[in-house]
Amino acid sequence: MLYALFFSREIAKALLCPFFRCPFAVCVRAVRGARAEFITLCSSYSARTASSDDGTFGKVLATTCPGPFPAVLDLWGGGGGLVEYRSALLASKGYVALSLEYIGRVDDDGKPYQVDSAAFDVLKQHPQVCPERIGILGLSFGVSVALGMAAYSTVVKPRCLVGVSGSHIMPVNGSLADVFAQIKKNVKNTRYDEEHRIIWRDLLLPIPDDPSKKVEMGRIKCPILLIVGEDDQNWPAAESAEDMKKMMDQAGNSHLLSVLSYPEAGHLIEPPYTPHCRASNFMLEETREKVIVLWGGQTEPHSYAQEDSWYKTLAFLEQHLYSQ
């Protein structure tokens, strides 16, 4: 029964669907006399190919139709790994999506991998992609990376950008290693709740006044949609969105910024119907130590935020990537 799931009090991994390469088969039992024939719930299909060009490692997901289509570079957060289900959903909506693995990877010189134009070029050169219609979608730490690319790259020119539960705090022209080094300096600001679950939002607070420690929002020329959970216990998304708006007001480009802010929503604002995860196990990238992180949010308002923000994200992408 689709509605019979309930929440366990035991802390474990976040519940995610790993079966993104095939549709769900749903059997619906109805009362006597109901129509019994099968009804197609969803007919979209995604093809999945690996990409390792120019040191870029990820998966390209696309519909099997010939195209060309708009594309989205999908950047996940600091947890690392290759996460594909959001890209698969975007592919089912008519986009070519590249889910990029960048946390914890190193280049040929053994240095931390730096997200650059090579990842964008993978999409631009894809035979199913309209190269002038590419957007970026970032989650958590991926928002900082996305904003940095949009502000400073002379090659990456996204048509639009979506940032979920993220921040603009990143040294000007700094590398990923620089960002993590700055965060480590503030590790003393780590807090714990009464159940000893980690609260990391203070690692970036207070929002710095020094402009060299933040992405220059005035340099960004594309529309931005920010999605904020007001009970985010992992990242100061609300404070960051407020500061970004202030910076863009001063630069004269605040007309490009839209903010969706959701009371009592937490950090992990996923696609709709993903179960709300208030806290879960998390593995630290460097030490491989397992800890319990508090993400925040209350179930009902957080679930509403996931549903509302996803459909508004799709509308935003359609407006800026599909419209003339």
Catalytic site residues? 140, 232, 267
Are 57 and 101 in contact by the 8 Å Cβ rule? The answer is yes
**Dist. CA 270–CA 277, nearest whole Å:** 10
Phi-psi map region of 140: left, alpha, beta (phi>0 left; psi -120 to 50 alpha): left
Which residues have C-beta within 8 Å of that of residue 120, sequence separation ≥ 6? Answer: 73, 134, 149, 153, 155, 156
Q: Is 201 helix (H, G, I), strand (E, B) or coil?
A: helix
Q: Walk across the sheet containing 161-164 and list its strands.
A: 46-51, 57-63, 96-101, 69-75, 129-139, 161-164, 224-229, 257-262
C-alpha span between 83 and 77 (Å, rounded):
10
Residue matched to tokens 């999945």: 48
Six-digit token pair at 302?
Answer: 């957080």
What letter represents residue 150's amino acid? A
Nearest one of 137, 128, 60, 53 to 310, comparing CA atoms: 137
Residue type, 176: L
Structure tokens that stand for 259 in this block:
């903010």
CB atoms within 10 A of CB 5: 9
Residue 55, both tokens: 């040191």
